[in-house]
Amino acid sequence: MLIQPSDPPPRAGITAVGSLLPEQALSSEDLQREVAGRSGLTLPPTLLEQATGILSRRVAPEGVYASTLAVGAARRALESAGLDPLDIDLLVFASASRDMVEPATAHIVQAELGSRAHALDVTNACNSFVNGIDLARSMVLAGRARRALVVTGETPSRAVRKDPADFAEFRRGFAGYTFGDAGAAVVVEAVERGGILHVDSETHSEHWEVGGIPGGGSRHPRGDDHTYFRGDGHELRGVFEKAGTAVIDRTLHRTGTDWDGFARVLVHQVTVPYLERFAELTGVPDGKLVVTVPELGNVASASLGVQLDRVYGELAPGERVLFVGLGGGISIMTMVWEKS
């Protein structure tokens, strides 16, 4: 009996990346001074910097929107790949921020780029970008798309309350003072080797009320008070610590890889203390991490894309990267990607 060799399983991977940061930097010292001045609160010197480890963050100026940052990052990704916007047949805007409730911000991005792709939004807090990449991969493998562009544009600095009425309100919105703005984009398409090898996730949706921006939906369609981020950073950290490292441990086991098997580990970064705690709990070596939070703050779903863009050119074919996403809701995601 003649046994015919089987075709290798189809693969999809990231083949280009781009990111964009607003030019304006806002130091924690200046942000604290502004909050104290507008609220009349007396705050301990260097409170924001000492509590978060964040020295500065980028802030989008007036007239620059989530779509603006996404378009800028998308153009850089397309240029690096030598592609025209018309080469894309799926455009996914995957972000916690958006330009408006309706229509999907993906259409605004597409109009600016001049592409004609199937366009849609994906949103899942700070895991939006990883979810978008996973969706694009699935569409490529299913034969529904040939080449996808996944973009994010984050402007969470606009959800920061700079005039809290009292210290209690300042504390409720404290996590917002970590925010910075950024855009990122990746091209996802079929590859012959490597690519996205594994994706896993874990959700703890019973904690959805721990933090977020409640305005703009059917619960709170109007009212400025609902447009500011609310959440206790200590409670958020506690929820993630309670969730533990199970999804990461599972990913390492299923892929047969230890930390030495990854050239880089990209993890969503909220504050320096939280990043240090992540390293302590997981055992990931410091040299594997791409640290951006001290200079950029928490750039929401753009965090992993910005980190990837910083190291993409240094990676050799066959080297693997572990993505670790942490998002409000609560969700934890992992993705193992091998450069083709």
Residue 211, phi then psi, degrees to nearest 5: -165, 150
Say if CB 320 and CB 262 are below 8 A apart. yes
Kindly state the tokens that stand for 235.
């409670």
Say if CB 312 and CB 263 are below 8 A apart. no
Task: Name the active-site residue from 127, 131, 207, 268.
Answer: 268
126 as an active site residue: the answer is yes
What single string gives the DSSP state of each residue in 216-282?
TSSSS-S-GGGGS-EE-HHHHHHHHHHHTTHHHHHHHHHHT--GGG-SEEEE--S-HHHHHHHHHHH
Task: Name the active-site residue from 124, 127, 131, 298.
Answer: 298
Task: Name the active-site residue from 124, 126, 127, 207.
Answer: 126
298 vs 279: CA distance, rounded Å = 17
Nearest to 211 by CA among 250, 156, 139, 144: 156
Q: According to DSSP H, which parts of 21-179 are helical?
A: 28-39, 47-52, 66-81, 105-113, 128-141, 167-172
124 as an active site residue: the answer is no
157 vs 61: CA distance, rounded Å = 10
Any idea which residues carry the catalytic annotation?
126, 268, 298
